[in-house]
Amino acid sequence: MQPFPGRGIFFLVRHGETEWNRERRVMGRLGTSLSERGRTQVASLAPLLSELGAEVVWTSPLARARETAELIASALGGLPLHVDEGLTEVDYGTWEGQTFRELMADAAYHAYVRDPEMAAAPGSRERLVEVRDRVLAALTRIAADRPGGRSIVVSHGDPIRLVLAACLGLSVKEMRRLRVDNGAVSGFEATGDWVELKFANVRPDLAGIVGPLEDARPSGD
């Protein structure tokens, strides 16, 4: 089964690192920009992306994703660049700006971790099942724009996890089994009635992927 209609090959890129990623701080929909290391990550990823034959770049509207998409589009010879609101990050409400250490004292956060399908952050009306549905709707639009084509899609950690989980038939509760790093790309092919994962969380520095694992909590970025 395929979790959304349409055909094509999709390369999902998580934006490069920001200073808030380094600080383990929830960004949500706040307008943070790439750090110098984040820009270096994107520049290092570009040669890998150049071999994939992508025809267009789509991006979340948030600054860190748009900057990542602009760097990629330019490095790949000026590919067309489009924005889709459906690719934006999760609305983390009053948690945005807080560190994960601070959230450990919040009972609502622990409830969210236990039941991510139905719980929502304080001040947010968006549950992860709704995030999944809006991101899959964005991919439906992207597929319709270029049927059978190859598209780079720049988004955020949790939206990408939700898409990959849907492609693999995993529930929202299981999405954190999937690692999605800053400046990494995952690829899958949709045939119209079937989806095949080609690769996941690829980045130039493989040793960095298998190094000390980050705490598997909502990325909020």
Q: Is 149 helix (H, G, I), strand (E, B) or coil?
A: coil
In angstroms, the CA 187 to CA 25 distance is 27
Contact at 8 Å (CB) between 88 and 156? yes
Q: Is 166 helix (H, G, I), strand (E, B) or coil?
A: helix
Which of 15, 17, 67, 156 does the annotation list as catalytic? 15
Amino acid at 157: G
Mean pLDDT, range 189-214, rounded to an integer: 86
Contact at 8 Å (CB) between 201 and 181? yes
pTM of the model: 0.93
15 is catalytic: yes
Beta strand pairing call for 195-202 and 185-190: antiparallel
pLDDT at res. 220: 62
* Band of residue 216 on the pLDDT scale cut at 50, 70, 90: very low
Closest CA relative to residue 166, chosen from 200, 123, 195, 191: 195
Question: pLDDT tens-digit profile of 30-89?
Answer: 989 999 999 999 999 999 999 999 999 999 999 999 999 999 999 999 999 999 999 999
Closest CA relative to residue 65, chosen from 28, 100, 102: 28
Which of 17, 67, 89, 96 does the annotation list as catalytic? 89
Question: pLDDT tens-digit profile of 74-131?
Answer: 999 999 999 999 999 999 999 999 999 999 999 999 988 888 888 889 999 899 999 9
Report all structural domains of the chain as residue ranges with CATH numbers, in order of start: 8-90+126-205 (3.40.50.1240)
Q: Is 150 helix (H, G, I), strand (E, B) or coil?
A: strand
67 is catalytic: no
Question: pLDDT tens-digit profile of 128-161?
Answer: 999 999 999 999 999 999 999 999 999 999 999 9
Reading the block at residue 13, the tokens are: 């890129």
The number of CA neighbours under 13 Å toward the Cβ of 13 is: 37
Closest CA relative to residue 183, chosen from 157, 158, 207: 157
Apex CA 214: angle with CA 169 and CA 61, to 5°?
65
